[in-house]
Structures are given as structure tokens and as C-alpha cells.
Structure 1
Amino acid sequence: MPAKSYLMLAAALFSSVFVSPVAAQLYTDCNPLNATCPSDPALGTSHMFNFNATPPENVFNLTAGTVEYDADTGAAFTMRKKGDSVTLTSNFYFFFGKTEVLLKAASGTGVISSIVWSSDVLDEVDWEFKGGNSTHAFSNYFGKGRQDWQNGGDHPVTGGVLDDYHNYTCVWTKEKLEWWLDGVLTRTLLPKNANNTDNYPQTPMKLSLGIWAGGDPDASQGTIDWAGGLVDYSEPHTMYVKSAFVEDYSSGKEYTYSDHSGTWESIKITSGNSTAYENINKVPEKSLSEKWNELPSSTKAGVYAAAGGVGAILLAGLIFYYFKQRRRGQQEAALAAQQLEQERVEMERFKRGGGDPDALAFDGAEYNSKSGMAATPYGMSDSPPGSSAGAPEKTWDPTGSSGAAAMPLLRDDTMNNYRDNPGSGPAPQIPAPTSTSPVNRSFSPSNAPGQTGSPGAR
């Protein structure tokens, strides 16, 4: 292997040991050092984000978990299991500027709480807090993604970073970069001291607030050592952020890289209001009560009058319906009373005629569904004709069982034979009519029962 290759491999291994974990997590969708990339949406203003409630819509992106908001403690970023890296990242960029974050770091060995600026070319500015080190905060920076483990520095924090909120501020211009702790200047970086300005952060930045596991077992040993040791995932670890003030020192709609140099001189500013500015200053839609209170007095009077007219019409309709139903009920009640009176008069008449209402009994015959015959009338002891008791005296018995003459049938087997074979055997005997009217007793084959059409040959 060539000597140059050995040197590059050694440099890579060295970097993997001493690389900042935060920088290792950063990425860019399009790096302007290598390609022509879309413009970055600008903040173009200053704003205080209070995290006692959800921030304005479309201003921050949430990744790798959830953030809980509380009026007293602010935003809670909680790591509950391996792989959690709860992070809020702004959808806007600022081009030189200032941030002030009121933060309480998460406890736990290997747990890192962080305030990070990052650009598309991987310029970076950090405040970091190691959960295993309760007394110090850690400042760092990178230029164009170049790893340099000598860029970081530890700073003592009065009262510690885990038990209370502290103000962590960065102020950034093209002349210098400053880290402030609770209003006290802690560190200053000049461009000439950052690889002769080449590694000086100088391109539009976005803000990220998040918690992550520097001591994850899958991380490199150098990262684990830097973080202080392995993370214990058996218990949750929470970072709290009450507020973040962000000020963009430039004003405009968006920032564009005009070349691939990655210098601040290459950044072009488009004038106008940014999307972030519009979202932050968007007036929330008013409630109905608020809209009503803003109406002129004359308009309110007109609405009241119209509502009163409609109410009067409805009331009149209800009154009309009420009286109509009441009249109908009275008519029905009167008709029922009239019917009752008629029945009473009829009953009185019946009583005056000597009738006994209690002795009333049904005097007709009741049909028997089983035999098809009439049952015994109420109040009678005789059995009806055809019953098992036999026919009453002097009544017609169609069965002949009582000795009475049975009525001859109009059609019997003789009639059937004659009908089917005319001329064979004696003619059936047909009873004489009881009427005195003349009867035509003549017979012709054409009138024979059961025949239609031509009689045919004989």
C-alpha cells in the first residue's frame, strides 16, 4: 500500500476516535460545496419561542420521538429507549445572528443534551451537556464538516447543569463568535484562529435542540469515552427547554449560495418576508365571539331584529298548531261523549221495556271449526242437526238415521252413467218440479248434459 494511503487510513482512524458525536450526527440534503442547491428559507426577524405550548405551526420539525409541553417546565425531550434522539430543528435559517436558550440538561452517564447550529455545508456551533458531568458545559465548533477534536472546551457552571435552568447564548458575526453563560462571556473565536478563516462557521445556520445517546453501545469507543460511558436505558432521561430567542442579523426571504466556496461572501439574500416570518406572525383565526364583538352596533341591531322576527314567526306557528290540536281534541271528546250518551239512552229505554241487562245472552248459533256445523245456540238444550245426539224431532235429517225420509240426491251414480253413456239403461228419475209453471220436458242430444259441439256419428 502506498505511503499516502497509510497516512489517509491513519487519519481516518484518528478522526473516528476523537470526532465530536454531534458533528457525526449532522447531515445535509444538498451540500453547496459540491452541487447547486435550493435556497434556504430565512428567518429574517427575531422571535422569542416560549415552549410552554406547541410552537407556531411549520416553524420547527420534530424527529426521533415526541416533545411534551408544560406551562411550568417548558418542552420535555425524553430518551426512553435505545434509538431515541428527540430533536426539534428549525425550518428557517439565520445568516449571522444570536440565540439564547434557557435549558436544564438531562442526567445520566453517556446522555448528551445539546444546542446545535448547523449549515448546508456543515458549518457548526454547539453547546453540549454530558449527563455524567453535572458541573460543566461544553462548547464546540466545526467548519465545512472538518473534524477537529481540539475545537471543544469545558466551562464550569455555577449550580450545575442538571438541577436548574441556565441561559446559554451564542452571538455570531463575520468578525467573531462568542459563547455566553448566564450573561457572562465565556469564550470567543476569531476567524483567523479557525484555520485562517477556512474553518470559521460563516454560512446560514438552522437551530436544533435535542437529546441523544453519546454512550450508545453501537457508537465508537472514542465517542463513548467522550460522552463519559455507556447509557443506562432502564430509566428515562429528560432535557427541559423553557425558551429559545432567535435573532437573524440579516433580513430577507431566503439565502442562496452563488458558488461552491462556502464563504459568507458567496451568500445572496432575496428580499421579502420569509415563510417563517409569515408563520410566526400569522394571526390566529378569530372565534365567533370575537367576530361578533367586532361588529358595528348597527349590524348587531339588525341581526337582533331579524332574529326577533324569525322568533315571532316561529312562536305564532307554535301557537296556531297548539290551538288547532286543542280544537281537534275537543271535537273528538265531544263525539265520544255523544256516543256514550246514546248508549245510555238506549240502555234506559231497554230497562223501561222490562229488559234485564244482566240476563242478556247471545241467541244465535256458533260455528264449530272442527265439524263445520253450527254449535248449540246459547240458552238451548236441543242438539243441532247432524250432531251425535241425533236430529231433533220433526226436523229434516239428511243422513236418514232418524227414520225420516231422506231427500233424494239430484245426481247419483245413475245420473253419472247416463251422462257418460247416453241411451244406456233407464233414464234417471228426476223429481217433479214444485212449480206450476210449464216445463219443457223434451230432450235432444244437443242438450244432453256433459256434451258440447257436434254429437258425431251414431
Structure 2
Amino acid sequence: MGSSGIIGLLGVLGLAAQFTNAQLEPDCNPLKAVCEPKKALFEENYYIDFTKQSSPPSGWTIANNEVINFTPNGAEFTYGKKGDAPNMWTDFYMLGGRYDVEMKIAPGQGVISSAVLWSDVQDEIDFEFSGNQFGQKPFPPQDGMWSVETNIFARGKMWDGAATYQKDTFKPAEQFHKYSVEWDEKHMSWYVDDKVVRSVQAKDTPSGFVFPQSPMKLQLGVWGGGDPDNNHWTVEWAGGEIDMKGAPYTMLVKSVNITNKYPADQYRYTDKWESRFH
């Protein structure tokens, strides 16, 4: 059990997460099976500058059969051909804190860039971007302000209003911005360049849903929401079918900074009920 007394079990076994209607599928869901304990972030602060890396850094796992290049521009996540889904995630989890991701999203109709907090019980707190602003018109927007989608999944389910779209970032496919999530037992907030763009209070969680309360890892990546093999609704949500004539499309991540509210050694479930803040 972690030093903070928090109970939970999360983790990924080095295998690529699967996208299911844009929702991530864990390798082992501790609400349905007995899973091994997983590593927690013991430090209060974590920072990595991807522009200083030349190979995959320790503490991160790259999805099977995918390639991420580490360059002076940052970590490059490239959608170059049908089926590409370069993703990378931390091999540690946190239960509460703040995550800052400095990134430039991938352009391209139907190409989805994301920064996602998620757990093996499928709690999830997301930033998602479409390379053509989810098909919203006019595009590109005349004022340069693009829509950001923020999502909440509670054990794999969304309530009405859990996903929102707001015009909160300026030319995100051309410029780097800092996208942040702050989350604890009472609230979650999303920031763009340190400006709060959305907040949700735990006390306002709709009946029948659980406020996200299981330790999460951070996953960064790009995938083809507009792949014509996806179902119609996913393609429409993503902004239409991907124009492969314009490929490759690349998302860049310069850095990640994490402030850990509850340092711990590991997380473990003692039964198949959800973990909670304590």
C-alpha cells in the first residue's frame, strides 16, 4: 500500500492500450479481475524535457509496434499511414495533483491528438484535439481560436455534459501551448497556458456516476479518428475522413511537468470495488 494510505490498483503490462470508441481499454481491470500491484510516483515533483532526449526515456512505455522519435523539437508522434497510433504513457500512477503538457497538436482532418489521464478502472480526464477542429466551420477559424474538447469518463461511462467543446487555444497546430489538468478528491480543472478553461466539482457529480477517484497514468498520443474503417459516428466526431495526401501529420511534445499531491510507493486493490481518495 502507498505511504499515503491510498488504496488502488492500476497499471499497464507493457502492451498497447486499445481504443474503444475513443475510450481506452486497460489490459487488466481490477474491478473485474485480480491484477498485480502497480508503481506509484513517489516523488512530489516530476519533470522531463523531451527536447533533451535522443531515445525513449526511462519511466515511459511506447505502444507496441509504434515509433516515437525524440528530437531537439521534442517527442514526435506521427500519423503517417493508415493504422498508425503512436502513443506513450508513464509507467507510474498518481492519485491527485497537476499535470502540465507542453505540446503542438498534429494538423490533418480527422487526426486526433490527446493528453489523457486514465486508470485501469477506466476513470479518465482528457484533452483531445482534432487537426481540423472536429469539422467545425469556418476552418481555420478567422480569429485563430480553436476548440478544445475536454472529457470525463467515470468507470468507462460519461454523463450528460461530461464532454465539452470550448474555443480556448490559439493556433494549436502551429504553436506550442501548455495544457494542464489539476485533479483531487474535490474537483478537477483544465488549463490552457495557466488559464482555467473548465472546472468540475466532485459534489456536482450526477446521480449514478462516480467522480474519478482511482490513480491514473498520463498517456500522450495521436490516432486516426477519421480512419474510414471506424464507425460513422467516430469519423464524424473526428472531423471527417483523413486526407492521406497531406500525411504525415505530427504532434510534438516538448515537456511534461507533474506535481504529485499524494506520493506513494504502489497502488493495490484489496477487492474489486473502486479505489477512493482517503
| TM-score bracket relative to the smaller structure | 0.7 to 0.9
**Partners of 1:97 and 1:130 in 2: CA distance:** 26
Partner of 2:256: 244
**Partners of 2:200 and 2:101 in 1: CA distance:** 20
Q: 1:159 to 1:58 in 2, by over 3 A?
A: closer
Return the letter of the residue paired with 1:142: F
Partner of 2:62: 62
Partner of 1:203: 214
Shift, 1:54, TM fit: 4.1
Judge conservation of contact 2:79–2:248 (CA < 8 Å) in 1: yes
Q: 1:197 to 1:173 in 2, by over 3 A?
A: farther
Bigger strand fraction: 2
**Partners of 2:66 and 2:273 in 1: CA distance:** 36
Judge conservation of contact 1:49–1:55 (CA < 8 Å) in 2: no
1:157 is paired with a residue of what secondary structure? strand
**Partners of 1:148 and 1:112 in 2: CA distance:** 22
Partner of 1:93: 93
1:94 is paired with a residue of what secondary structure? coil
- Higher relative contact order at CA 8 Å, sep ≥6: structure 1 or structure 2? 2
**Partners of 1:39 and 1:55 in 2: CA distance:** 28
**Partners of 2:113 and 2:27 in 1: CA distance:** 24
2:82 is paired with a residue of what secondary structure? coil
Shift, 1:156, TM fit: 1.4
2:22 is paired with a residue of what secondary structure? helix
Judge conservation of contact 2:169–2:192 (CA < 8 Å) in 1: no
Partner of 2:156: 145
**Partners of 1:136 and 1:223 in 2: CA distance:** 17
Q: 1:79 to 1:32 in 2, by over 3 A?
A: same
RMSD (CA atoms):
2.0
**Partners of 2:205 and 2:77 in 1: CA distance:** 33
Q: 1:214 to 1:164 in 2, by over 3 A?
A: same
- Cα deviation, 1:120-161, whole Å, max 9, x if unaligned, reads 100001001110116111111100011446311112135321
Partner of 2:15: none
Return the letter of the residue paired with 2:276: W
Give identity over the alignment, percent. Answer: 33
Alignment of 1:380-395 (within 5 A): none
Shift, 1:34, TM fit: 1.8
Unaligned 5+ segments in structure 1 are: 1-18, 268-458
Shift, 1:201, TM fit: 1.1
2:109 is paired with a residue of what secondary structure? coil
Shift, 1:193, TM fit: 2.5
Shift, 1:108, TM fit: 0.7
- Which of these residues, 18, 31, 34, is aligned with residue 33 of structure 1? 31
Partner of 1:48: 47
Return the letter of the residue paired with 1:214: G
Unaligned 5+ segments in structure 2 are: 1-18, 134-139, 141-145
**Partners of 1:168 and 1:158 in 2: CA distance:** 9
Q: TM-score with structure 1 length normalisation?
A: 0.51
1:114 is paired with a residue of what secondary structure? strand
**Partners of 1:191 and 1:155 in 2: CA distance:** 21
Q: 1:221 to 1:101 in 2, by over 3 A?
A: same
**Partners of 2:67 and 2:59 in 1: CA distance:** 16
Bigger helix fraction: 1
**Partners of 1:158 and 1:28 in 2: CA distance:** 30
- Cα deviation, 1:397-441, whole Å, max 9, x if unaligned, reads xxxxxxxxxxxxxxxxxxxxxxxxxxxxxxxxxxxxxxxxxxxxx
1:264 is paired with a residue of what secondary structure? coil
2:150 is paired with a residue of what secondary structure? strand
Q: 1:175 to 1:55 in 2, by over 3 A?
A: farther
1:256 aligns with 2:268: yes
Aligned pairs, number: 245
**Partners of 1:146 and 1:66 in 2: CA distance:** 30
**Partners of 1:123 and 1:218 in 2: CA distance:** 27
Shift, 1:20, TM fit: 8.2
**Partners of 2:209 and 2:67 in 1: CA distance:** 37
Partner of 1:224: 235
Partner of 1:323: none
**Partners of 2:179 and 2:151 in 1: CA distance:** 13
2:161 is paired with a residue of what secondary structure? helix
Alignment of 1:13-28 (within 5 A): 21-23=21-23, 26-28=24-26
Q: TM-score with structure 2 length normalisation?
A: 0.82
